[in-house]
Chains A and B, each alone.
Chain A
């Protein structure tokens, strides 16, 4: 289908044939255009305001905790509401560990699936599989959580965890698990972010002009070489974007993680031990939290989650920028 579109190929960078009015400043004709531009611009501006307001609200609400605990909040791993000791480390650790585990599992799996769907699968298989992927994305997270607690966790305990202990072992997989752990949380998150990664990377792969593939084939490339040279390489920024969106979902996921991670605030390299996450602790403790510092500490966890998400996103953009900087002229 892409071959039919007229697209310019400029030294390897894809420049899609967009309609003229999406390029730069378009010619404004009359009042209607100006009004439309003003309204849509205002809507876009609201997004910025919303993000800023959320940040400010969290900042203000975290005030009592800043005052009482200060920077120690970021390095302490003690969470004891009775003694008014609050430290974010176990939650940050749990969120990062479970999210990165999810990425580790879901990235190769998701890219593999979408490559298969765009490059290799017979046409009459693509639609049904894509449909099922969409359904996967529509399942509410509490359902994933219930399934994780009642089906996945016992399976992990009985079959997967012992194998991991035997094969990898070491500090990362030490026995004594009941199936509620960082690892199970990572697995369930990987299933949850899989549709995000598949859907977006599939669109990215589909956007690669067929000319690329045909050129590679004409030079005698195999299927794998074609994919490597003419699909994966130009898709890099898009793929990183897909993975980052997946990571974003994993970082903020609350219900499903709460139900399988075990909710124990601790920092341990053992992935089979129960842990906690930032979103979980807020969801768990906010309703019954009494006392200014306690409430503020939960707000500060929220603030921290927002900052971490932001930092990771910026890092990903920088990564894309660095790796593709010289790419267009290669």
Chain B
């Protein structure tokens, strides 16, 4: 009995000590985008194994991430929308928006009997989301898809009900291809959609699409691929119909390279390039140029460089698109300006 008690006590002490040592081992804290979370978890786990630097990332949403970063409770924020001027001012010193993750948003649908091959033009997509095209057998859609037999079925427009980077990228695209959209609903993480029902998260949108024949909605590429959802090919700026894929997304970033400014604040939707898929965008890590703590600053710079080298090479395993090499070089130059 006495021994038993001792064993338990030793066990408890062990757990407590482990907890304490683990807590001690956290070297960097980050918070923000849920879009980045799957790849960040993979990256930071690998990074810990290789460099024994522990990075603790909380996927509380981009808005929350920026708030935490402004309050200096985390070392970096991750956001699907670059900092606004207002936020940059509150940062109390120069800040960098570093694109580290590149993703695509695909237009998914549920039309009985049609599992693939639907083609859409920007105009048709906008008209569907504006409530101008109401039925799948509308001539505008039928003309684009002569090979498909489109049913007489009411279109059910689905969108995200929660604020999200996915909506940010999607509406940025709609705003670029249609002035009518840009001046009415506009572009942002939550916008005032004229029609449709909202689902919470990718899973909410996907659930509604799957449940109701006739639905059309937008979800992240990774989510659509992993859940084997049907997605549409979109006509890009070059006039070619392109299906969403990791390669087509990197191609879009390459196509937009000449436009990417030195502060990286750009939405690359509707990019030029023969093979570019038009609805894609970056997710940024925000950091301060002047780091207070030299030890942390060094660790942060090392981590960012690792993400851009090793990490970037593995992005496609989780259906994120790798950044083009030219962009990686530019971002690394920016990382080099961090002072600690």
Size class of the contact patch on chain A: 20 to 34
Contact yes or no, A264 B207, CB < 8 A: no
Q: Mark B23-62, 1 if CB is under 8 A from A, else 0.
A: 0000000000010000000000000000000000000111
Q: Across the two chains, which residue of chain B brings its CB closest to A80?
A: B192
Knowing A259-B204, A264-B198, say if A284 contacts B191 (CB, 8 Å). no
Residue of B185, B187, B197 near A263 (CB, 8 A) is: B197
Q: Does A81 contact B (CB under 8 A)?
A: yes
Which residues from A are CB-within-8-Å of B163? 81, 284-285, 287-289
Contact yes or no, A287 B186, CB < 8 A: no
Knowing A150-B207, A284-B162, say if A290 contacts B84 (CB, 8 Å). yes
Distance in angstroms between the alpha carbons of A180 and B161 in the assembled complex: 13
Which residues from A are CB-within-8-Å of B187? 82
Q: How far is the CB of A253 from chain B (nearest CB, A)?
A: 14
Distance in angstroms between the alpha carbons of A280 and B161 in the assembled complex: 9
Distance in angstroms between the alpha carbons of A283 and B66 in the assembled complex: 18
Distance in angstroms between the alpha carbons of A259 and B162 in the assembled complex: 12
Distance in angstroms between the alpha carbons of A291 and B189 in the assembled complex: 12
Q: Does A242 contact B (CB under 8 A)?
A: no
Q: Mark B170-186, 1 if CB is under 8 A from A, else 0.
A: 00000000000000011
Which residues from B are CB-within-8-Å of A153? 211
Q: How far is the CB of B83 from chain A (nearest CB, A)?
A: 9
Q: Mark A217-241, 1 if CB is under 8 A from B, else 0.
A: 0000000000000000000000000
Contact yes or no, A288 B190, CB < 8 A: yes
Residue of A285, A286, A288 near B62 (CB, 8 A) is: A288
Q: Does B200 contact A (CB under 8 A)?
A: yes
Residue of A81, A176, A274 near B190 (CB, 8 A) is: A81
Q: How far is the CB of A279 from chain B (nearest CB, A)?
A: 12
Interface positions, chain A 115-152, Cβ under 8 Å from B, are: 149-150
Q: Across the two chains, which residue of chain A brings its CB closest to B196?
A: A264
Contact yes or no, A258 B161, CB < 8 A: yes
Distance in angstroms between the alpha carbons of A259 and B198 in the assembled complex: 9
Interface centre among A153, A286, A287 (most CB of B within 10 A): A287
Q: How far is the CB of A45 from chain B (nearest CB, A)?
A: 32
Q: How far is the CB of B242 from chain A (nearest CB, A)?
A: 28
Q: Does A326 contact B (CB under 8 A)?
A: no
Size class of the contact patch on chain B: 35 or more
Distance in angstroms between the alpha carbons of A81 and B87 in the assembled complex: 16
Q: How far is the CB of A190 from chain B (nearest CB, A)?
A: 21
Contact yes or no, B161 A178, CB < 8 A: no
Contact yes or no, A149 B63, CB < 8 A: no
Contact yes or no, B207 A288, CB < 8 A: no
Contact yes or no, B211 A150, CB < 8 A: yes
Contact yes or no, B156 A83, CB < 8 A: no
Contact yes or no, B192 A287, CB < 8 A: no
Contact yes or no, A287 B162, CB < 8 A: yes
Distance in angstroms between the alpha carbons of A289 and B163 in the assembled complex: 7
Which residues from A are CB-within-8-Å of B188? 81-82
Q: Does B340 contact A (CB under 8 A)?
A: no
Residue of A80, A280, A283, A288 near B164 (CB, 8 A) is: A288
Q: Mark A160-198, 1 if CB is under 8 A from B, else 0.
A: 000000000000000010111000000000000000000
Q: Does A212 contact B (CB under 8 A)?
A: no
Contact yes or no, A287 B60, CB < 8 A: yes
Q: Does A66 contact B (CB under 8 A)?
A: no
Contact yes or no, B208 A288, CB < 8 A: no
Q: Does B324 contact A (CB under 8 A)?
A: no
Which residues from A are CB-within-8-Å of B60? 287
Q: Mark A276-307, 1 if CB is under 8 A from B, else 0.
A: 00001001111111110001000000000000
Contact yes or no, B198 A290, CB < 8 A: no
Q: Does A79 contact B (CB under 8 A)?
A: yes
Contact yes or no, B197 A288, CB < 8 A: no
Q: Does B81 contact A (CB under 8 A)?
A: yes
Distance in angstroms between the alpha carbons of A295 and B207 in the assembled complex: 28
Distance in angstroms between the alpha carbons of A291 and B81 in the assembled complex: 12
Contact yes or no, A259 B190, CB < 8 A: no
Distance in angstroms between the alpha carbons of A179 and B211 in the assembled complex: 10
Q: Does B292 contact A (CB under 8 A)?
A: no
Distance in angstroms between the alpha carbons of A295 and B189 in the assembled complex: 13
Q: Does A94 contact B (CB under 8 A)?
A: no
Q: Across the two chains, which residue of chain A brings its CB closest to B200?
A: A258
Which residues from A are CB-within-8-Å of B211? 149-150, 153-154
Q: Across the two chains, which residue of chain B brings its CB closest to A146?
A: B207
- 27 CB contacts below 8 A, A to B, read A78-B192, A81-B163, A81-B189, A83-B186, A150-B211, A153-B211, A154-B211, A258-B200, A259-B200, A262-B198, A264-B197, A274-B198, A283-B162, A284-B161, A284-B162, A284-B190, A285-B163, A286-B63, A287-B162, A288-B62, A288-B162, A288-B164, A289-B63, A289-B189, A290-B62, A290-B66, A291-B84
Q: Hey, which bits of chain A sit against chain B, CB under 8 A?
A: 78-83, 149-150, 153-154, 157, 176, 178-180, 258-259, 262-265, 274, 280, 283-291, 295
Q: Can you add 9 more A-B contacts, CB < 8 Å, to A80-B186, A263-B199?
A: A150-B207, A176-B154, A262-B197, A284-B161, A284-B163, A284-B200, A285-B162, A288-B162, A289-B190
Q: Hey, which bits of chain B sit against chain A, CB under 8 A?
A: 34, 60-64, 66, 81, 84, 86-87, 154, 156, 161-165, 185-193, 196-200, 204, 207-208, 211-212
Closest 3 CB pairs of A and B: A288-B163, A263-B198, A287-B61
